[in-house]
Amino acid sequence: MGRSPCCEKAHTNKGAWTKEEDDRLISYIRAHGEGCWRSLPKAAGLLRCGKSCRLRWINYLRPDLKRGNFTEEEDEIIIKLHSLLGNKWSLIAGRLPGRTDNEIKNYWNTHIRRKLLNRGIDPATHRPLNEAAQDVTTISFNGAKEEKEKINDPRGFVNKDEKKIPVQERCPDLNLDLRISPPYHQSQPEPLKTGGRTLCFFCSLGVKNSKDCTCSTGTGGSSSSNSNSGYDFLGLKTGFLDYRSLEMK
């Protein structure tokens, strides 16, 4: 029993968008804002499905999009974030203002992959190619679901039906199952500091001399504005558990 289609395909256009369709979509969203993509096409007079409208707006029509080539700095940020997050393009895009997940995904597949391969780095593991062929530590995002029940039971038993079933040890490959959460601290969290100063997002990623750097003395004033925000991992203000901001586009 399959899910019903998101739209009546017989009455929807597909393929490239025309200038007229773009204009209709833009003017409708300007007037009514984003949201309720399902009903938007009809309301805007478009013969498109809602998903298609959403994609077109997010990836191409949004006014805050930064068109044009990626800078060397953006390349490095993408590489670093990909090494931490994997193919979580929306999270990566959330840290690159004006870039979309689709754009970054395409850019990764067409440029950065090759760039890393030329450097002798496996784009999947971010390890040297000769090393990648050997033992590999898998950083898994997929295991979270199946692990939930185990995690919920501190004794290490799956405890459905009140039957105690020993949880089998997973295979020795390390499943880090990365989760973004506030770091453990006993009392007041400490900002990420180096040599007595707070690091901005770009510096914490190791991007040198970024024009967007806000942690240099006298510029940006991030230390004061962030003074209450705690540890700044990936630019997250984890003191407030501002994880959602990662997902914002």
Partner DNA sequence: AATACCGGCAACCGCGACACG
Partner DNA sequence: TCGTGTCGCGGTTGCCGGTAT
Q: Can you give the binding site for DNA, defined by CB under 7 A? A: 3-4, 6, 13-17, 35-38, 48, 50-52, 54-56, 59-60, 87-91, 101-103, 105-107, 109-111, 114, 145, 247, 249
How big is the chain by its Cα radius of gyration, in Å? 23
Tokens of 169: 């040890």
Q: Which is nearer to DNA, 30 or 208 (CB)?
A: 30
Q: Which is nearer to DNA, 15 or 172 (CB)?
A: 15
Let me know: does 234 contact 246? Beta carbons within 8 Å.
yes
Q: Which is nearer to DNA, 97 or 221 (CB)?
A: 97
Dihedral angle over CA of 132, 138, 248, 105, nearest 10? 40
What's the distance, Cα to Cα, between the start and end of the chain in Å?
A: 34
Q: State the nearest-atom distance from the C-beta of 209 to DNA, in Å.
A: 26
137/19 Cα distance (integer angstroms): 48
148/59 Cα distance (integer angstroms): 34
Q: Which is nearer to DNA, 194 or 245 (CB)?
A: 245
